[in-house]
């Protein structure tokens, strides 16, 4: 993996202070990888977390699961459900808040969408095996706002979701499947409630600590979790002028990001959706 630098100037000379005008991004991918990402809509990143760093994330997610066990039980009871999906993770544990500026993902996000980006959300998905009720997801995509016909000035919603796996993906836990190039299909959507393979799908597996970055509108599904618990985080970014994820209800009132924002620098505020553009 070769790094390269991108220097951005945001063309806004009317802005009195210089914050957010110049950005030097040390991109943790090479230009060919970004080109492939743009075309295929997905990019595999091995070993984003290893050793202690990986274990801290697992422990934090296990703690959260324990705290929210009532919701978890409801999720487990559902036949063929998605599993347990805790949300607003950065409000719930410092370990997650530390991912706000996680460069191996954020630098690639900035290379693809420019410097002015924000967190759309950090959530998790924990899936469990079970004979008649193993967890999996149907085909879906994340930014379901595209009208047909497409107006000339429609703002196409770009979003990068970092699917970060805390357990190995394999036949026991279930790989993730994607349809390369489908993020560019603005005139159709994936078949509803469909769990079967579709034309062009590609199964992707990574080791624990690895990630698959996807464009938010890439068609994807998680295959069944057959015989071992599977933990995943979704670290998601959009341009900073888009609203955050509508899922998971209101933000916790006394969440960690609230006090963090009081001391936060320009960049951190922008990443959490406060200001950052004019």
Ligand X SMILES: O=C(O)CCC(=O)C(=O)O
Q: How crowded is the C-beta side of 48, counted as CA atoms within 13 Å?
A: 31
CB of 127 to ligand X, least distance (A): 7
Helix (H, G, I), strand (E, B) or coil at 111: helix
Total residues interacting with ligand X, rule: CB under 6 A: 8
CB of 27 or CB of 179, closer to ligand X: 179
CB of 27 or CB of 37, closer to ligand X: 37
CB of 221 or CB of 276, closer to ligand X: 221
Which of 232, 242, 271, 272 binds ligand X (CB under 6 A)? It is: 232
| 21, 129 contact by CB (below 8 A) | no
CB of 60 or CB of 85, closer to ligand X: 85
Torsion of CA 70, 75, 77, 80, to 10 degrees: -170
Q: Is 137 in the site for ligand X (CB under 6 A)?
A: yes
Length of the chain measured in residues: 278
CB of 78 or CB of 275, closer to ligand X: 78
Helix (H) or strand (E) holding 232: strand 230-239
Q: How crowded is the C-beta side of 61, counted as CA atoms within 13 Å?
A: 26
- In the chain, the N- to C-terminal Cα span, in Å, equals 35
Residues 233-272 touching ligand X, rule: CB under 6 A, are 234
Q: Is 109 in the site for ligand X (CB under 6 A)?
A: no
DSSP code of residue 252: P
Residues 154-173 touching ligand X, rule: CB under 6 A, are 163
Build a one-symbol-per-residue string for 182-221: x at contacts with ligand X by CB under 6 A, - elsewhere: --------------------------------------x-
Q: Is 222 in the site for ligand X (CB under 6 A)?
A: yes
Q: Is 125 in the site for ligand X (CB under 6 A)?
A: yes
CB of 6 or CB of 143, closer to ligand X: 143
Helix (H) or strand (E) holding 7: strand 4-9
CB of 16 to ligand X, least distance (A): 41
Helix (H, G, I), strand (E, B) or coil at 9: strand
Torsion of CA 200, 201, 202, 205, to 10 degrees: 180
**What residue ranges in 93-218 does DSSP mark as E strands?**
117-127, 160-165, 176-178, 202-204, 211-215
CB of 25 or CB of 161, closer to ligand X: 161
CB of 79 to ligand X, least distance (A): 18
CB of 200 to ligand X, least distance (A): 17
State the Rg of the chain over Cα.
19
Question: Residues interacting with ligand X, by CB under 6 A?
Answer: 125, 137, 163, 176, 220, 222, 232, 234
């Amino acid at each position: 993996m070769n790094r390269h630098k991108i220097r951005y100037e945001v063309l806004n000379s009317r802005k009195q202070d210089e914050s957010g005008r110049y950005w030097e991004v040390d991109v943790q991918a090479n230009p060919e990888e970004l080109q492939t990402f743009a075309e295929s809509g997905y990019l595999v990143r091995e070993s984003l977390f290893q050793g202690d760093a990986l274990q801290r994330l697992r422990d934090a997610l296990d703690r959260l699961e324990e705290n929210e066990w009532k919701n978890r039980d409801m999720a487990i009871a559902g036949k063929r459900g998605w599993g347990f999906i805790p949300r607003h993770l950065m409000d719930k544990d410092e370990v997650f808040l530390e991912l706000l500026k996680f460069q191996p993902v954020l630098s690639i996000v900035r290379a693809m969408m420019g410097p002015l980006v924000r967190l759309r959300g950090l959530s998790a998905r924990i899936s469990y095996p079970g004979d008649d009720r193993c967890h999996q997801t149907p085909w879906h995509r994340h930014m379901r706002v595209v009208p047909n016909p497409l107006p000339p000035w429609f703002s196409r919603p770009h979003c990068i979701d970092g699917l970060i796996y805390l357990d190995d993906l394999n036949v026991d836990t279930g790989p993730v499947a994607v349809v390369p190039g489908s993020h560019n299909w603005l005139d159709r959507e994936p078949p509803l409630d469909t769990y079967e393979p579709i034309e062009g799908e590609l199964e992707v597996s990574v080791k624990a600590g690895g990630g698959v970055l996807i464009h938010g509108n890439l068609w994807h599904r998680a295959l069944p979790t057959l015989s071992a618990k599977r933990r995943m985080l979704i670290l998601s970014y959009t341009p900073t002028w888009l609203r955050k994820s509508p899922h998971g209800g209101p933000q916790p009132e006394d969440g960690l990001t609230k006090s963090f924002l009081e001391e936060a620098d320009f960049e951190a505020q922008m990443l959490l959706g406060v200001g950052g553009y004019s």
